[in-house]
Amino acid sequence: MAAPALFFTDDPHSQMDDLLWRICDELQLSPARYQQAVERYEAVCHWLEANGSAVASFRPSLYPQGSMRIGTTVKPIGHDEHDLDFVCEVKAPSTTFSSPLQLLQLIEARLREHNAYASIIEVKNRCVRLNYANEFHMDILPACPDTNSGGGCLVVPDRQSRWWKPSNPKGYADWFEQRCELATQVYMAERARILAKAEPVPAQESAAQKATLKRTVQLLKRWRDVRCEKRPNVAPISMVLTTLAAYTYEGQLSVSESMSCILAKIVGLTEFSKPRIYVLNPANRQEDLSERWEDPVEYAAFVMGIRELNGLWAKAIATAGVQNVGMALETLFGEPVRVAVRKQASHLQELRAKSALRVRPTGVITAVPAVGIAMRSNTFHGK
């Protein structure tokens, strides 16, 4: 993530965003773990392609999909392992296989030939999972190109229905990245406005702007995990939350403003969509990602949850006092909030020790240069 710079203004969003970035930083896959995941999947890929592999003749290619691909990973509650999804696309139409199960079994059998993989393998409905203890769960989803549809469309074997299901992970990721790009457009317009007024341009890295939607999605997923910890059966799936957020996002540069906008619009949708909201896969409009909401109990739970979140979020951003804001956010996102508050304070203290802080005329401490009064060094004393 882009390191927050504590460029506080008098606007509460400036500090709230720094805090939210730090919360997301606690939740997401660390750069070291990410690198490790890449190495692990490259090794799996080599094993599948190696001489003697029954999969090799299908020229498999392995690539990340889902949160790993779009940068919205969230650590699950209760254990340290992220779930990371990879597609193993074979260069053969589904008709090559006598049944969807044959493709799943082919991949599974090849992985079982490897001593290390054999001991950590777990077979799931649509994938073969490798459980790397204390690191992550690597789900390998076999897939065939959908020769009828093209455009990155795939079909994936489904063990339960014993049939092929449509999928398009690359198409979905491209669509999501396009939604993230809205922030760049807003930023360029804002920059042009500021330049026209000859004010200093706020320093912000482009990667950070584009990540605003990603950070908002991470927070939504985390809220879902916290709220549905005891009732996981009614938890909306990640792809539904991600898609809803991306559809309703308007290019805000601030994570807190993006969250406010997205929540207000989703709540609006719940009021006007009868009998329910349909979240269609943007990469395959035939697919209703929210098909589980056909169950009125599940849908009602979502509507109640998102309205509650909207209310609590509005309260949290209207709250004054770092301790009170922290408490309000902790209700929504759990224990990483306290860590984030502490890390923000430690960062501020580091800058203070380097005499790199100033104080605005309102009393607000900031790392923005050349405003207000420089903070001289001092030592808090006393009991």
3-state secondary structure string, 178-208? HHHHHHHHHHHHHHHHHHHCCCCCCCCCHHH
Q: How far apart are CA 139 and CA 130, in angstroms?
A: 6
- 175 contacts 283 by C-beta, under 8 angstroms: yes
Q: How far is the CB of 346 from another protein (least distance, A)?
A: 5
Q: With left for phi above 0 and alpha for psi between -120 and 50, is residue 106 left, alpha or beta?
A: alpha
Q: Which of 194, 346, 354, 369 forms a contact with another protein (CB under 8 A)?
A: 346
Binding residue for another protein (CB under 8 A) from 95, 98, 160, 377?
377
Residue 314 binds to another protein (criterion: CB under 8 A): no
Q: Letter for the amino acid at 350? A: E
Gap between the Cα atoms of 216 and 222, Å rounded:
10
Q: Which is nearer to another protein, 12 or 166 (CB)?
A: 12
204 binds another protein (CB under 8 A): no
x-or-dash string of contact with another protein, 247-286, rule CB under 8 A: ----------------------------------------
Q: Which is nearer to another protein, 148 or 377 (CB)?
A: 377
Q: Pick one of 352, 356, 367, 371: the residue that binds another protein (CB under 8 A).
A: 352
Phi, psi of 151 (to 5 degrees): 55, 35
> What tokens does 264 get?
């207000």
- Nearby residues of 323 by Cβ (< 8 Å), 6 or more positions away: none
Round to whole Å and give the CA distance between 242 and 223.
Answer: 13
The number of residues that bind another protein (CB under 8 A) is: 48
Give the CB-side neighbour count of residue 254, counting CA atoms within 13 A: 16
Q: Which of 353, 354, 355, 369 binds another protein (CB under 8 A)?
A: 353
Q: How far is the CB of 354 from another protein (least distance, A)?
A: 13
Part of the chain binding another protein (CB under 8 A), chosen from 23-31, 62-70, 82-90, 373-381: 373-381
Collapse the DSSP code of 365 into the 3-class scheme (helix H, G, I; strand E, B; otherwise coil) and give the result: strand
Written as six digits, the tokens of 375 are 């903070």
Question: Which of 98, 115, 134, 362: binder of another protein (CB under 8 A)?
Answer: 362
Handedness of CA 177, 178, 181, 182 (dihedral sign): negative
Nearer to another protein, 10 or 291 (CB): 10
From 55-63, 70-78, 189-197, 359-367, span contacting another protein (CB under 8 A): 359-367
CA-based radius of gyration for the chain = 24
CB atoms near residue 54 (< 10 Å): 12
Contact (Cβ atoms closer than 8 angstroms) between residue 65 and residue 85: yes
Among 186, 364, 367, 371, binds another protein (CB under 8 A): 364
Site string for another protein, 7-26 (x = CB under 8 A): -xxxxxxxxx--x-------
- Residue with token string 């999928």: 167
Output the CA–CA distances (angstroms, integers) from residue 222 to 76, 230, 293, 361, in the order listed: 8, 14, 20, 37
Site for another protein in 318-337 (CB under 8 A): 319-327
The residue range among 22-30, 193-201, 302-310, 350-358 that interacts with another protein, by the rule CB under 8 A, is 350-358
Nearer to another protein (CB atom), residue 312 or residue 365: 365
Residue closer to another protein by CB (options 16, 255) is: 16
Instruction: Work out which of 5, 56, 264, 359 binds another protein, going by CB under 8 A.
Output: 359
**Cβ neighbours of 178 (radius 10 Å):** 11
For the bound state, the minimum distance from the C-beta of residue 348 to another protein, rounded and expressed in Å, comes to 7
- Contact set with another protein (CB under 8 A): 8-16, 19, 319-327, 338, 341-342, 344-346, 348-349, 352-353, 357, 359, 361-365, 372-383
